[in-house]
């Protein structure tokens, strides 16, 4: 019986074991299927085509991105790598069931949402890479429970919150990359527990506080990158002492708020190759000991608060390729030893106070604000590929020895003080970029320059170059993409062959020939230029003739600058094909005809300048549909009729000038829709009626001129609401009434003109009006005010009002008091007389009625007199 029991128990154990094995591989398959179910977009259909279940469970080990280990009967998924599959969705919590997983890489996709807590079950996990996604939320604290972790890559997402201190539990961690997120708070000192750490990369987050000293105790570190945070504090003076960093190769602390002195012990980091401390607040002198970091390749110390000079012994850094000391307030001369570094490719000393001549240098040098000439030995560096000397104060001529730069591709000498001619020898170099803009070069452009068939960008603008452009220009520059010849003294026409530059038919390009003396015409072949040409600028070059109809073929054009020339004819209707046009400048020409309604097809048009031509007719009614318009300058033409009502609905209009035309009609109340307009000039037209009182709602207006029209009525009080107003010109109209005193509140008003109207009353004297002269008010006979304004004094009204005021103040009160007193006295006297009379009558009556009274006989005549013959009605 006991043997039977053991046999059954063994059978059950074996059966459970087999069931458990089947369940494990099945669990892995279920987890992967769940992972696929959480995918909302499989752009390249990689998973949908490859991850297909079958009856053979172990087939999942052959799915793309899935790797297994173990024998055929006990295989488990140990690695999942779907990096760069262009997947979208969220991370399935079921991945936490892949309990044998060692490596998980879902980087370079578009996953979003949070990291599932269930991933904390992956106890065997050694590497996790979720970088370059849109994952968010805090860095999970369960990372601290994964004892085998060696690498964490969570870069380039939107993780936020602090760095969890529990990461200090991952004692096997070698690589911790959390860059390009939104992490904030301090760097936890627990990071110092990671004694095997090789790479720390927290760059471009929002970390604050000081760098924990514990971080600099990890002797295994090879790279520390904390660039682009808000870290404060200083660096420990003994940062590299005591052989602390025997393997450290890179320290990147740029773009923080670190301060203090730069430690002099960096040279003790013997393997250091990259030292980047730029864009901080370090001060003091640059330690000479930096010159002893013999393996250094990159040294960025720019944009700090250094003083003193550049250490001579930096020239000992023979492996140095890039040196930036820009913007550090450095003084003195540039050590010649810098140019003993044969490996130097980039030298950036921009924005210091360095002086002296420029020694020889290597490629990609950018040395703004250096004075003096370029010495001849500069051109011994024959392997130069890029010379960047722009924005300096370099003088002298460009040496013909430049031909020795046989490998040179880009030459930037712009914004200096070079004089003389452009050397013909430059034509022997296969340049891609030649930029000598903003110098004092003169003479004819050497024909050799036009033989550089490799040129992509040619910028000779802002010099004193003369001569004509070669007729075969387009044939000689088959790769030309950008051409800048503006602000010279070139003559002749624009060659028609320019349209043959084949690269101009393929790439977004720019042609700039403005401010020359071309005196020619625009070639009819202009329309054959690149369909992707974006900018064509030829203003101020005395170009004659008409605008070619073919201009409509330049469908990618965003800016057309043909102003200040001598163009004639009409604006071609084909301009309506330029669907991408944003700016068109045609002012100061001799164009005539009408504004083509085809312009209304330019839905992206922002600026239109057609002023100072001979355009006639009305503004097309469809102009009001161009909602992107910001600046409309149609002044000084022969335009007539009324302004379309919907024109005032251009809510983004910033500048409007319709002056010096023959527009008529009333100014509508819709003018108040110009909420963002700063400049409005409607002067010298025939507008009539009142100025709309609602105009005060256009509160952004800085300049407003309605002068020389036929406006009438009063000046609206609401103009005082234009709080930004600097210029107000209402002169030469038929305005009447008084100047509103409320305009005194316009604190920025500097120019005010209401002359030649029919205004009356007193001119306000407070606020801005205290600064205006008589010219502002002339030819308004009924105005009065102070003498300096050359108007009549407001004496009559002023004196009368003063007299009345004085009368009320000083005469009326005592007069009223006197009248009151007299009245009281008269009343008292009258009362007394009445009392006396009453007493007398009482005495007489008593006497008569007394028994002792003597009664006298009264004659008839006395009775008649006494009673007035009884004629009084009382009797």
Determine the pLDDT at residue 859.
Answer: 54
**DSSP codes of every residue in 445-497:** PPGGGGG-TT-SEEE--SSEEESB--TTHHHH-TT--EEE--SS--EEPPPGG
Token digits for 208?
Answer: 């604050």
Torsions phi, psi for 181 (to 5 deg): -135, -160
Among 255, 257, 221, 213, which residue's Cα sits nearest to residue 238?
Answer: 213
Euclidean distance between CA atoms 388 and 801, whole angstroms? 78
Euclidean distance between CA atoms 330 and 316, whole angstroms? 20
What are the residues whose beta carbons fall under 8 Å from the beta carbon of 812, sequence distance 6 or more? none
Determine the pLDDT at residue 849.
Answer: 45
Structure confidence by residue, pLDDT tens digits, 380-408: 445 567 777 777 667 788 888 778 777 78
Determine the pLDDT at residue 505.
Answer: 43
- In the predicted model, residues of the chain with pLDDT beneath 50 are 1-23, 357-371, 380-381, 505, 508, 797-804, 807, 845, 847-856, 873-875
Tokens 């001369």, residue? 333
CATH architecture of 356-428+438-447: Alpha-Beta Horseshoe (3.80)
Euclidean distance between CA atoms 115 and 870, whole angstroms? 131
What are the residues whose beta carbons fall under 8 Å from the beta carbon of 346, sequence distance 6 or more? 321, 322, 323, 324, 363, 364, 365, 366
Determine the pLDDT at residue 323.
Answer: 86
Delimiting residues of CATH 3.80.10.10 domain(s) in the chain: 19-138, 356-428+438-447
Determine the pLDDT at residue 474.
Answer: 60
Determine the pLDDT at residue 855.
Answer: 45
Euclidean distance between CA atoms 731 and 712, whole angstroms? 11
219, with CB counted inside 10 A (0-12, 13-18, 19+), is middle
Determine the pLDDT at residue 410.
Answer: 84
Beta bridge partners of 420: 441
- Mean of the per-residue pLDDT values of the chain: 84
CATH class of residue range 19-138: alpha beta
Determine the pLDDT at residue 657.
Answer: 97
Among 425, 499, 501, 487, which residue's Cα sits nearest to residue 457?
Answer: 501
Structure confidence by residue, pLDDT tens digits, 254-273: 999 999 999 999 999 999 99
């Amino acid at each position: 019986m006991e043997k039977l029991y053991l046999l059954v128990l063994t059978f059950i154990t074996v059966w459970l074991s087999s069931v458990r094995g089947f369940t494990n591989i099945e669990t892995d398959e279920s987890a992967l299927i769940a992972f696929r179910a959480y995918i909302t977009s499989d752009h390249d259909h990689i998973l949908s085509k490859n991850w297909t279940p079958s009856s053979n469970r172990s087939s999942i080990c052959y799915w793309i991105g899935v790797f297994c280990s173990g024998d055929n009967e006990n295989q488990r998924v140990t690695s999942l790598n779907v990096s760069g599959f262009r997947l979208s969705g969220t991370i399935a919590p079921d991945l936490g069931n892949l309990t044998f997983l060692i490596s998980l890489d879902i980087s370079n996709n578009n996953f979003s949402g949070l990291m599932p807590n269930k991933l904390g079950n992956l106890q065997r996990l050694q590497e996790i890479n979720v970088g370059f996604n849109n994952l968010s939320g805090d860095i999970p604290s369960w990372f601290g429970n994964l004892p085998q972790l060696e690498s964490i890559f969570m870069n380039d997402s939107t993780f936020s919150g602090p760095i969890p201190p529990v990461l200090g539990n991952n004692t096997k961690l070698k690589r911790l990359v959390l860059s390009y997120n939104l992490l904030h708070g301090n760097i936890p000192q627990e990071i110092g527990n990671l004694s095997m750490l090789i790479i720390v990369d927290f760059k471009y987050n929002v970390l604050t506080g000081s760098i924990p000293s514990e971080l600099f105790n990890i002797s295994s570190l090879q790279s520390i990158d904390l660039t682009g945070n808000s870290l404060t504090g200083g660096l420990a003076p003994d940062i590299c002492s005591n052989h602390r960093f025997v393997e450290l190769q890179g320290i990147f602390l740029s773009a923080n708020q670190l301060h203090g002195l730069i430690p002099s012990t960096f040279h003790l980091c013997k393997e250091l190759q990259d030292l980047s401390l730029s864009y901080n607040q370090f001060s003091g002198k640059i330690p000479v000991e930096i010159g002893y970091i013999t393996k250094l390749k990159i040294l960025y110390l720019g944009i700090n608060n250094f003083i003193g000079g550049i250490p001579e012994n930096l020239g000992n850094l023979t492996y140095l390729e890039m040196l930036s000391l820009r913007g550090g307030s450095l003084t003195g001369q540039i050590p010649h030893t810098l140019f003993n570094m044969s490996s130097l490719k980039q030298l950036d000393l921009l924005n210091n106070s360095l002086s002296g001549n420029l020694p020889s240098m290597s490629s990609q040098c950018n040395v703004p604000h250096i004075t003096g000439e370029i010495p001849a030995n500069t051109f011994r560096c024959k392997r130069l590929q890029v010379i960047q000397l722009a924005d300096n104060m370099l003088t002298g001529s460009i040496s013909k020895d430049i031909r020795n730069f046989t490998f040179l591709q880009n030459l930037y000498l712009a914004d200096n003080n070079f004089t003389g001619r452009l050397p013909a020898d430059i034509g022997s170099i296969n340049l891609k970029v030649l930029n000598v803009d903003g110098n004092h070069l003169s003479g004819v452009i050497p024909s050799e320059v036009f033989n550089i068939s490799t040129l992509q960008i040619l910028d000779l603008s802002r010099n004193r170059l003369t001569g004509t452009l070669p007729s075969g220009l387009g044939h000689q520059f088959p790769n030309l993409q950008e051409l800048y010849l503006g602000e010279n003294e070139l003559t002749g026409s624009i060659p028609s062959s320019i349209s043959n530059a084949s690269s101009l038919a393929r790439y977004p390009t720019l042609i700039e020939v403005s401010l020359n003396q071309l005196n020619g015409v625009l070639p009819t072949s202009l329309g054959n230029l690149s369909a992707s040409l974006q900018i064509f600028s030829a203003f101020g070059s005395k170009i004659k003739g008409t605008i070619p109809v073919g201009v409509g073929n330049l469908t990618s054009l965003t800016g057309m600058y043909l102003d200040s020339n001598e163009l004639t004819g009409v604006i071609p209707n084909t301009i309506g094909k330029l669907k991408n046009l944003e700016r068109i400048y045609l002012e100061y020409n001799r164009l005539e005809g009408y504004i083509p309604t085809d312009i209304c097809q330019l839905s992206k048009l922002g600026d239109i300048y057609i002023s100072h031509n001979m355009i006639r007719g009305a503004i097309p009614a469809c102009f009001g549909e161009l909602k992107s318009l910001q600046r409309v300058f149609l002044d000084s033409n022969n335009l007539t009729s009324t302004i379309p009502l919907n024109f005032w609905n251009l809510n983004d209009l910033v500048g409007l000038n319709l002056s010096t035309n023959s527009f008529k009609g009333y100014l509508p109340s819709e003018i108040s829709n110009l909420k963002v307009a700063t400049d409005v000039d409607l002067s010298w037209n025939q507008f009539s009626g009142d100025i709309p009182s609602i105009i005060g709602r256009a509160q952004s207006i800085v300049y407003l001129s309605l002068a020389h029209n036929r406006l009438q009525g009063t000046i609206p009080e609401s103009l005082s609401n234009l709080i930004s107003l600097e210029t107000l010109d209402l002169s030469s109209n038929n305005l009447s009434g008084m100047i509103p005193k409320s305009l005194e509140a316009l604190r920025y008003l500097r120019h005010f003109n209401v002359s030649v109207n029919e205004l009356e009353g007193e001119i306000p004297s407070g606020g801005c009006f205290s600064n205006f002269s008589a010219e502002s008010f002339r030819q308004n006979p009924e105005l009065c005010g102070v003498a300096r304004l050359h108007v009549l004094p407001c004496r009559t009204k002023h004196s009368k009002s003063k007299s009345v005021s004085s009368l009320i103040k000083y005469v009326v009160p005592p007069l009223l008091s006197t009248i009151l007193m007299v009245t009281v006295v008269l009343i008292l006297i009258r009362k007394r007389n009445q009392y006396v009379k009453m007493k007398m009558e009482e005495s007489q009556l008593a006497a008569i009625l007394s028994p002792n009274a003597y009664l006298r006989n009264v004659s008839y005549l006395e009775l008649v007199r006494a009673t007035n013959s009884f004629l009084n009605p009382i009797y």
